[in-house]
Structure 1
Amino acid sequence: MAARPFDRRLTPARPDLAAAHLRGLVEAARFVEGERVTVRAPLADLRPRPDLSASIDTQATFGEAARLYETRDGFAFVQLERDSYVGYLPAAALGPAPGAPTHRVAVPLTFVYPAPDMKRPIVCALPLGARLAAVAEAGAWLRLVEGGFIFAAHAAPVEARAPDFVAVAEAFLDAPYLWGGKSAGGIDCSGLVQVSLDAAGIFAPRDADLQEKALGEPLPEGAPLARGDLIFWRGHVGIMRDGETLLHANGHHMQVASEALEGARARILATAGLEVSSARRLG
């Protein structure tokens, strides 16, 4: 049987190992069911190979579920549940879930404290979208099942939806650019789109090429643009704040920047030889 071509980003398969549900679709020496695990680190870098010198494809956030297929030499071969991305996480970043998520972090960054006291040294910092299992409120604080407290106003019920994903993205203005990043500590163009839409309850694939295929409907060339429209180049994406202003994480500014779309368009054409490939409007 000839091996079927697949996108390595979304297909848990290697020549020596593949997910059981891919039996008959890909060639592999063995097939495994895998086990469901949860990210227990605030952020975990996912790489295309088990090598700390490899670039970061994306990041998994605290409370995110994954299917674990193999652990070896400190790395875990996984598929993330939320966006189906496949790669290698630090094995130490994974563990069993302490309970079903009840809340999500609703601000770009919040701290976990060992007690409901902002003067105490923090335990860790959690990014937007981190899923939390909470058991009770202690005044202005939310107590987590595994221990620790976060400021309750920084969280929302897990089913809550931000009314304007663009406003979520705007909160990242000036955050540093990081290839593969998905937090206020470092974020890339498609990561900004994904985490902002996730806060609004809208699924988005991880990478710009996948987002261009999956999100919204294409606008005719020259059509007036509006807040929330997505502008794509090959390998890049930005969000319109209004009919003329683009918000995007980019390597020119090395941060999330707001600028005139026409200025960005001219610069990208001049420096990379790329025209806008599409403008898309979400329903």
Structure 2
Amino acid sequence: MSSLDPRLTLARPDLADRALEGQVEAERFVDPVLYQASVSAAPIRRQPHPDGAMDDQLLFGDAFAVLEVVDGWAWGQSRSDDYVGWVDVAGLSQTCRPVDHRISVLRTYVFSEPDFKSAPRALLSLNSCFKAGRRDGRFVEVEGLGWVTAAHCSRLDETADDFVAVAEGFLGAPYLWGGKESLGLDCSGLVQMALAASGVAIPRDADQQEAWALDHGAIVPAGAELARGDVVFWPGHVGLMTDSEHFLHANAGFMDVTLEPFSEAEARIRAAENPVRNRVRLAFYSPPGLF
């Protein structure tokens, strides 16, 4: 195999995406078949088993390029962040609808009818995407699923102004390794979802995000004052500054999305022999009120 990141490379010694022919070694190359997430959140697991470790999730409407289906499990790659793994086919549909809208609030119900008293069919999280159908009063149809409050969704090209404010909306959400839905997410999932809501696509894991951030910003020198929107990286951890003193992060210490003084978080994590590696100011971000 090549030195390509295995997390993002749809290839094994026995099977690989035909697009990788000439880049990796494999016994056979095939064209992927496109599926689409049909549940609120479908785990992407390391092994084809319900207890397999979850490294990522597909949100409703996300596309998944599948190379193999074995005993009810599909091996493939997320088209939203390129992560590779196994997904239970019960959470996938072979009917792939082009998406044109996304959920723009932390979470919202999808109802069986355009009526808030009708039965809820699903609870969709921020950045879930769908094909919008009919309109009926306050509701818009999520094709293939039901009806959602129109005020809770937006066109794909309508994005949030401040990704830090989006992240702040997750305050108190439970910590979940590999998660990126509003009912549970990890440190890099929080950063990824906040930026996605602002129309900025970034990689899934903290180390990948660090490399991306260094390409899209500048290092804040040690001793210099931090600011809202600065992204702080440790080996295996990431979070956001909400102002010069406060830090927001999903963490396994408190098991939720926590806002705390940065000095306290930095000292605690450093005491666990994990010092800050980089503090990055993203070039494209301007805190609200600054011109």
Q: TM-score scaled to structure 2, two decimals?
A: 0.93
Instruction: State the Cα distance separating 1:98 from its structure 2 match.
Output: 5.2
CA distance in 2, matches of 1:36, 1:148: 23
Deviation at 1:221, TM superposition (A): 1.9
1:17 equivalent in structure 2: 15
Pick the aligned partner of 1:207 from 195, 200, 205.
Answer: 205
Answer yes or no: is the 8 Å Cα contact 2:106–2:125 preserved in 1. Answer: yes
Partners of 2:219 and 2:201 in 1: CA distance: 18
Deviation for aligned residue 1:234: 0.3
**1:257-268 equivalence runs, <5 A:** 257-268=258-269
- Show structure 2 runs of 5+ residues with no match: 284-291
Partner of 2:228: 227
Deviations 1:111-140 (A, max 9, x none): 010012212221011111000111122111
**Is 2:54 the counterpart of 1:56?**
yes
Which stretch has the larger CA shift, 233-242 or 97-106? 97-106
**Superposition RMSD in Å:** 1.2
Q: Residue 256 of structure 1 corresponds to which residue in structure 2?
A: 257
Matched with 2:98 is 100
The DSSP-based 3-state class of the residue aligned with 2:54 is: coil
Q: 1-side partners of 2:97 and 2:231: how far apart? A: 36
Give unmatched runs, 5+ long, in structure 1.
none
Deviation at 1:269, TM superposition (A): 1.3
Contact 2:160 2:197 in 1 (8 A): yes
CA distance in 1, matches of 2:191, 2:2: 31
Q: Which amino acid in 2 is paired with 1:125?
A: L
Deviations 1:62-112 (A, max 9, x none): 111121111111110111112111111111212234532121001111101
Q: Distance in 2 between matches of 1:136 and 1:158?
A: 17
Contact 2:106 2:169 in 1 (8 A): yes
Q: Give me the whole-angstrom Cα distance separating, in 2, the residues matched to 1:234 and 1:116.
A: 47
Percentage of identical aligned residues? 44
Match of 2:238 in 1: 237
- Superposed displacement of residue 34, structure 1: 0.9
Residue 287 of structure 2 aligns with which residue?
none
Structure 1 residue 68 and structure 2 residue 66: aligned? Answer: yes
Matched positions, count = 280
Contact 1:98 1:133 in 2 (8 A): no
Conserved 8 A contact 1:63-1:97: no
Match of 1:277 in 2: 277
Distance in 2 (CA, whole Å) between partners of 1:193 and 1:137 is 33
Q: Is the 1:45–1:89 Cα contact (8 Å) retained in structure 2?
A: yes
